[in-house]
A and B are shown apart, each in its own frame.
Chain A
Amino acid sequence: MENLGLIFAPLFSYKLLIVLFFGTIFGLVLGVLPGLGPTTGGALILPFTMTLDPLSAIVLLTAIYCAGTYGGAITAILINTPGTPAAAATCLDGYPLAQKGEAGRALGMATVSSVIGGIASVVVLIFFAPLLANLAYEFGQPEYFALAIFGLTMLASIGEGSPIKNLIAGAFGILISTVGKDFMTSIDRFTFGINELTEGIGFIPVVVGLFAISEMLTQSTLINQIFNRVALKAVKLPSIDDYKKTWKTIIRSSGIGSFIGVLPAEGGTVASLIGYAEAKRWSKKPEDFGKGSIEGIAGAEAANNAATGGAMVPTLALGIPGSATTAVILTGLIIHGVRPGPDLFREQPEFLYGIFGSMLIANILFFVLGFFGAKIFARITLVPNKLLWPMIFAVSVCGTYSLNQSIIDVWLMLLFGVIGFFMRRYGFSVVPVIIGLILGELVEGTLRQSLVIFDGNWLMFLQRPIALTFFVLSLIALSFPLIKRKKKNDKV
């Protein structure tokens, strides 16, 4: 807590403020454009961050994360298409309210609730991350293995779509991480005689392929789609009456979002759906939901932005990404030589608190930019896909090539683009692949090191209380969808 003063350090660094400003604008642009969003945008910008110092690079990525999550609401409200998956629930009431001629009011409520949710989650991050990091001092290899398994099972059970398909995707992600020289014995695995594969498959080709290129292929199937755009005159701050109706919802959704964000899963999307459902459940007028309820917008937007800070907690404290975007941020940390975990809190507090402070400032910045610039950002959606996507392709190709100057990386990016397209088409989420890829080395490394410690005795895992707790939680997480289905069947 003695480091709390460091939160304000970014305010006194003109360089960080410039990075924050551009990161916020870039995040808003990415959030507004359907199909892009903070994960793809973060992956595209990663190579450029190599020209920055580590703190500026991570500040840039976190500003994109915060602003991008909010930006999705602008398109959700004005064209009934969520700019990001996390804004899907915002469409339900945002667009109907905009159709009634109240687009400014809807965007004003989305902006205010996003900022409150975002700031609340940064407060959770500031206080909870150091506590979790302290706890992590107790972790050895078996505990980290159990934690990684818990992360993957949580992702499967509370992520989007079928839990079994999520598990398959997660296992596929881990499998990708095994390509190349085995890090313990230097034995080649799945290299097929290709020299470039001995170093393994990089994160950037996979993430750019699975998100940007697969989205390009998806857009190629939607070229005749017509958006019905609602005109926006100006964003309006919520009235006193609106605040009276929504303050409880905003507080509740901020708590829900922060909590779900901490769990290793695709936080924002799940948080917004739960935040929306809870807002409806507690509302005095649940019949208004889906017809332009201001509470519905507040519930969804406060929750999805609250998940941003929450998802940074396991990312920074344990090195376990809380969402796909934090997986990109984690990669940014690693390529800049910063290893997240408890030691980071002890050795580089100024770095961490710089990130915390920057996230707070990013929330305030997107409030100002969103409030005064939403009309301009909304115009970005007028750029036709037939011009936008070839340009995104050029940036994707050059960005992917730039990290290792390898043409194989570019081909892998295209391959993963095609794989990602078909995965999404048949109901497999691509997010578990990314998390699996990030956690793959941790899962295998800690498993093998644990087995060395245990002299090959697998049952020794059960004699470690923390590891056992994580395994039990993993089992609960895996059985949760089954229990939910049984309850549903019983009701029917």
Chain B
Amino acid sequence: MNDVHNEKGTNKSLSLFFKSSFIVSAVIILISSILLYFTFTFDIVPPILNRGIQPATFPKALLILIIALTLLTYFISLKNPWKNEKKLPNSFYITLLSFVVFITVSKFLDFFLGIALLSIIVSYFWGERRVAYLIMVSIIFPLIVFVFFETILGLRFPPGIITNLYYG
């Protein structure tokens, strides 16, 4: 469980705009508004093919509902402030960065190389320093997973510099 502090106590000096409830509500409303804009670009079906409502109507209604409920949540938060979460540690940002490394490497080099790199980054920065364990988690385990999926499920993984060696 994360330790939490009451926002009332710790954020007195912060302006309204830096409160988590404001930022979260603003992000949700912004994304919803952009998506709402896109619903106006959906094709319109001629009345003869239209089944009840236009394809854009349902997503539009959902997005308006999300915006309305988010505004309601925000106004409620003015009376009952949200809990203020602790600052995120570096290990979180490194883990997030390892996802970017995985996406980049799996896209341009190799899927399993991406998994191996992510595993070694996460394991190392979460505190593992023993080389044998780092090898186990980044090479041996992904290899077992690869063999399992390849042989038992008959899965073909995307081509890459390492998987191509296996597939020939």
Contacts and interface: CB of A to CB of B under 8 A. Distances in A.
Interface of A: 47-48, 50-51, 162, 164-165, 167-168, 171-172, 174-175, 178, 182, 184-185, 187-190, 192, 216-217, 220-223, 384-387, 389-391, 393-395, 397-398, 401-402, 405, 407, 410-411, 414, 417-418, 422, 425-427, 444, 447-452, 456
Contacts of A425: 85
Q: Is the interface of B mostly helix, strand, loop or mixed?
A: helix
B122 A395 contact: no
Given A178-B58, A185-B55, A172 B89 contact: no
B35 interface: yes
Given A220-B95, A401-B157, A450-B52, A394 B62 contact: no
Interface residue range, chain B: 35 or more
A175 B59 contact: yes
Interface of B: 2, 20, 24, 28, 35, 38-39, 42-43, 45, 49-53, 55-56, 58-59, 62-63, 65-66, 69-70, 72-73, 76, 82-83, 85-86, 88-89, 91-92, 94-96, 99, 102-103, 106-107, 111, 115, 118-120, 122-123, 126-128, 133, 136-138, 141-142, 145-146, 149, 152-153, 155-158
A397 B106 CA distance: 11
A426 B52 contact: no
A465 to B, nearest CB: 22
Nearest to B89: A221
Most chain B CB within 10 A, of A164, A167, A390, A410, is at: A390
A447 B119 contact: no
B24 A426 contact: yes
Most chain B CB within 10 A, of A165, A221, A414, is at: A221
Contact of A391 (B24, B73, B137): B137
B43 A402 contact: no
A451 B53 CA distance: 8
11 contacts: A164-B73, A174-B62, A175-B59, A188-B42, A192-B38, A221-B86, A221-B89, A390-B118, A398-B155, A414-B102, A426-B85
B28 A217 contact: no
B76 A51 contact: no
Given A164-B72, A398-B145, A189 B127 contact: no
B56 to A, nearest CB: 7
A393 B115 contact: yes
Contacts of A164: 69, 72-73, 76
B55 A387 contact: no
Q: Is the interface of A mostly helix, strand, loop or mixed?
A: helix
Given A175-B59, A390-B122, A444-B58, A168 B69 contact: yes
Contacts of A389: 122, 126
Contact of A447 (B52, B106, B126, B137): B52
- What 3 A-B pairs have minimum CB-CB distances, sorted nearest first? A451-B52, A390-B119, A386-B126
B20 A386 contact: no
B9 to A, nearest CB: 18
Contact of A426 (B82, B122, B126, B138): B82
B53 A386 contact: no
B123 A386 contact: yes
A449 B45 CA distance: 16
B149 A402 contact: yes
Given A189-B42, A391-B119, A426-B85, 20 more contacts: A164-B69, A168-B69, A178-B58, A178-B62, A185-B45, A187-B43, A216-B95, A220-B94, A387-B123, A390-B119, A393-B122, A398-B145, A398-B149, A401-B111, A407-B111, A407-B158, A414-B99, A418-B99, A427-B82, A451-B52
Contact of A418 (B89, B96, B119, B126): B96
Given A390-B123, A390-B138, A425-B85, A410 B50 contact: no
Contacts of A220: 89, 91-92, 94-95, 122, 126
Contacts of B146: 398
Most chain B CB within 10 A, of A223, A405, A414, A422, is at: A223
